[in-house]
A and B are shown apart, each in its own frame.
Chain A
Amino acid sequence: SAVISQKPSRDICQRGTSLTIQCQVDSQVTMMFWYRQQPGQSLTLIATANQGSEATYESGFVIDKFPISRPNLTFSTLTVSNMSPEDSSIYLCSVDIVGGQGTDTQYFGPGTRLTVL
């Protein structure tokens, strides 16, 4: 597995402001993802964070609202821009770890709980 940390663990923000969430992994990984979990809901993929190039966003998510950086193979940031109460969610990063027999498993960070007032 991998040790994945996220900062901050939680925050309460005012609408119209931005928050940057950091994700740090204890080993180099190729694939890193960002998900959103809205209250009482399942996880939805926001984007794939690509090292050295622009992130790949899912339908309904745009770079201007959720800019992502991936400067190296152990670190990524997700910014939630111009926040509104609808952005209140848990944001999770995840990474693929190569396991036995060439199979990959996706492991998740502890999440960042964001509340927008």
Chain B
Amino acid sequence: AQSVAQPEDQVNVAEGNPLTVKCTYSVSGNPYLFWYVQYPNRGLQFLLKYITGDNLVKGSYGFEAEFNKSQTSFHLKKPSALVSDSALYFCAVRKSNSGYALNFGKGTSLLVTP
């Protein structure tokens, strides 16, 4: 079975500081990992994905994620947080490159304070 875990319910960061939202995965076979963001009263927006290749994946809005096979992690990062980054972040995994739905983590609420 494919699953991801987000160990933090909430992450608080001061504006301008780096942020990290954690995600660990458990898969059989190659991992296909994703990050999505959900702003209040809006749908999910795709940020980035890891399929294969470079362990550092760059995505939308200045976000990046680092794939670490030995630690089975796929943490989301941003060098300098903005207040507008405050939202709900979901890590997700699926068992193939295509044709399958996503298994989501429980979500992490990010609060960036001025």
Which positions in A face B, CB cutoff 8 Å? 1, 30-31, 33, 35, 41-45, 48, 92, 94, 96, 98, 101-111, 113
Residue on A with the closest CB to B44? Answer: A108
Inter-chain contact A103/B46, CB cutoff 8 Å:
no
**For this complex, into which size category does the number of interface residues on chain B fall?**
20 to 34
Inter-chain contact A98/B98, CB cutoff 8 Å:
yes
Inter-chain contact A43/B51, CB cutoff 8 Å:
no
Taking a contact as CB atoms closer than 8 A, the residue among B51, B90, B101, B102 that contacts A103 in the complex is B51
Taking a contact as CB atoms closer than 8 A, the residue among B41, B49, B90, B99 that contacts A43 in the complex is B90
29 chain-A/chain-B pairs, Cβ below 8 angstroms: A31-B98, A31-B99, A35-B101, A42-B90, A42-B104, A42-B105, A42-B106, A43-B44, A43-B90, A43-B102, A43-B104, A45-B103, A92-B43, A92-B44, A94-B101, A94-B102, A96-B99, A103-B51, A104-B97, A104-B99, A105-B46, A105-B49, A106-B102, A108-B43, A108-B46, A109-B43, A110-B42, A110-B43, A113-B41
In the assembled complex, the CB of A40 is this many whole angstroms from the nearest CB of chain B, namely 9
Within the assembled complex, what's the spacing in Å between the Cα atoms of A113 and B102? 21
Residue on A with the closest CB to B107? Answer: A42
In the assembled complex, the CB of B100 is this many whole angstroms from the nearest CB of chain A, namely 8
Inter-chain contact B101/A33, CB cutoff 8 Å:
yes
| Residues of A contacting B97 in the complex (Cβ-Cβ under 8 angstroms) | 102-104
Residue on A with the closest CB to B42? Answer: A110
| Residues of A contacting B105 in the complex (Cβ-Cβ under 8 angstroms) | 42
B34 close to chain A: CB less than 8 A: yes
Within the assembled complex, what's the spacing in Å between the Cα atoms of A42 and B2? 16
Within the assembled complex, what's the spacing in Å between the Cα atoms of A24 and B94? 24
Within the assembled complex, what's the spacing in Å between the Cα atoms of A30 and B99? 8
| 10 nearest CB pairs, A to B | A104-B98, A110-B43, A108-B44, A45-B101, A42-B104, A43-B104, A108-B43, A111-B43, A42-B106, A103-B51
In the assembled complex, the CB of A89 is this many whole angstroms from the nearest CB of chain B, namely 13
Within the assembled complex, what's the spacing in Å between the Cα atoms of A104 and B43? 19
